[in-house]
């Protein structure tokens, strides 16, 4: 990490590659879908660019990799990380599959588009004063924002418990999360201390990677890195 915050632990958030439903805009929670060919290439390109020895995500700096239990997330990890690095991380017990990173449970909205969800809710007599917003209203038959917040906050507490002792690079403390679009944006809001309904517009393309960290080497100052300076490669 460049500048005054060099050595501060980071949390890399990686969204799985494209599926047919992410391409069409259909809400995909518990439905198991494989990556498309384009999705595989998205992940492969990101992995080659930023994962490996001396790169942004250097396996020697990793304390842990957390992966959603959905197949599309596990497939993304398998493609993004080189085989030798995957083996080293797994052999040292630094990989976990956790339901805390599963995508939002959409309930009745699984497989629907936003406009279809809003039409369905209108049929149910909901949202008479304002349009549906998942961050505020949650999902019928699925999860509420409070339920998603609970599982995310539990993971954040776990991460900060071991990162607090590596705020100046004393030990490998970086973390990678491999998960989903809504879940990772929700994670970012909670990392920064905002409720899910806070109007913070965030974007994360399939196969893309974002970076969270801390200001001033301080566990009490979580931050989002909105820009990253790369060293000159000789």
Quick one: pLDDT band at residue 115, thresholds 50, 70, 90? very high
The per-residue pLDDT for range 53-92, each reduced to its tens digit, is 989 999 999 999 999 999 999 999 999 999 999 999 999 9
Of 37 and 229, the structure prediction assigns the larger pLDDT to: 37
Q: Is 114 annotated as a binding residue?
A: no
How crowded is residue 165: how many other Cβ atoms within 10 Å of its Cβ?
A: 12
Quick one: pLDDT band at residue 234, thresholds 50, 70, 90? low
Instruction: Give the integer Cα–Cα distance in Å for 21 and 27.
Output: 7
The pLDDT of residue 1 is above 50:
no
pLDDT at 5: 61
Pairing of strands 11-15, 174-179: parallel
Q: Percent of the chain, pLDDT > 90?
A: 93
The pLDDT of residue 4 is above 80:
no
pLDDT at 126: 98
Structure-block tokens of residue 201: 């517009």
Mean pLDDT, rounded, for 19-45 = 98
Task: Put the strands of the sheet holding 174-179 in their side by side order.
Answer: 95-97, 62-67, 174-179, 11-15, 209-214, 222-224
Q: Is 135 annotated as a binding residue?
A: no
pTM: 0.95
Concerning whether 16 is annotated as a catalytic residue, the answer is: yes
The per-residue pLDDT for range 161-187, each reduced to its tens digit, is 999 999 999 999 999 999 999 999 999
Report yes or no: 50 and 30 within 8 Å, Cβ to Cβ. no
Q: Is 132 annotated as a binding residue?
A: no
Mean pLDDT, rounded, for 2-26 = 89
Q: Is 220 annotated as a binding residue?
A: no
Concerning whether 103 is annotated as a catalytic residue, the answer is: yes
Q: Is 105 annotated as a binding residue?
A: yes
> DSSP for 48-74?
HHHBSTTSSB-GGGEEEEEE-SSHHHH
pLDDT at 228: 73
Instruction: Give the integer Cα–Cα distance in Å for 151 and 157.
Output: 10
> Given 103, 143, 180, 182, which residue is catalytic?
103
Mean pLDDT, rounded, for 121-143 = 97
Nearest to 4 by CA among 121, 168, 144, 202: 168
> Given 16, 64, 180, 182, which residue is catalytic?
16
The per-residue pLDDT for range 196-225, each reduced to its tens digit, is 999 999 999 999 999 999 999 999 999 999
pLDDT at 226: 87
């Amino acid at each position: 990490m460049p500048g005054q915050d060099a050595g501060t632990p980071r949390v890399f958030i990686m969204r799985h590659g494209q599926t047919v439903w992410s391409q069409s805009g259909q809400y995909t929670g518990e439905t198991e879908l494989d990556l498309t060919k384009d999705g595989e290439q998205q992940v492969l390109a990101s992995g080659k660019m930023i994962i490996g020895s001396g790169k942004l995500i250097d396996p020697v700096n990793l304390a842990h990799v957390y992966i959603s239990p959905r197949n599309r997330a596990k497939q993304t990890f398998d493609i993004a990380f080189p085989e030798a690095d995957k083996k080293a991380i797994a052999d040292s017990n630094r990989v976990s599959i956790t339901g805390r990173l599963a995508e939002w449970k959409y309930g009745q909205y699984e497989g629907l588009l936003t406009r279809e969800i809003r039409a369905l809710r209108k049929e149910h007599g909901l949202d008479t004063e304002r349009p549906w917003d998942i961050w505020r209203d949650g999902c019928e038959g699925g999860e509420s924002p409070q339920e998603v917040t609970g599982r995310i906050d539990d993971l954040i507490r776990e991460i900060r418990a071991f990162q607090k002792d590596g705020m100046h690079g004393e030990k490998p403390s970086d973390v990678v999360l491999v998960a989903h679009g809504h879940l990772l944006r929700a994670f970012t809001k909670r990392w920064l201390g905002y409720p899910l309904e806070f109007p913070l517009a965030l974007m994360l393309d399939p196969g893309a990677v974002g970076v969270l960290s801390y200001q001033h080497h301080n566990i009490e100052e979580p931050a989002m890195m909105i820009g990253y300076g790369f060293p000159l490669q000789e």
